[in-house]
């Protein structure tokens, strides 16, 4: 994963307020913005407490 991808992920998470209920929106946004949802990108998304 590139630094640019990490910045995109951080921006998308921020746009959704870091809300764990918006996880699918966050993942969808990462895929749309980067064109591909790799394991690295999935692992870079925040881990929300259960």
Segments making up each domain of the chain, as ranges? 3-44
E-state strands within the chain: none
Structure confidence by residue, pLDDT tens digits, 1-34: 899 999 999 999 999 999 999 999 999 999 999 9
* CA separation for the pair 49, 35 (Å, rounded): 28
- Dihedral of alpha carbons 34, 49, 25, 13, sign: negative
Which residues 6+ apart lie within 8 Å of 17 measured at CB? none
Q: What is residue 13's predicted lDDT score, i.e. its pLDDT?
A: 93
49: pLDDT confidence band, cut at 50, 70 and 90? low
Alpha-carbon span 13 to 25, nearest angstrom: 9
């Amino acid at each position: 994963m590139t630094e640019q991808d990490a910045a995109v992920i951080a921006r998308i998470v921020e746009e959704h307020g870091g809300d764990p209920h918006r996880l699918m929106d966050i993942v969808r946004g990462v895929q749309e913005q980067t064109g591909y949802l790799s394991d690295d990108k999935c692992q870079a998304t925040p881990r929300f407490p259960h």
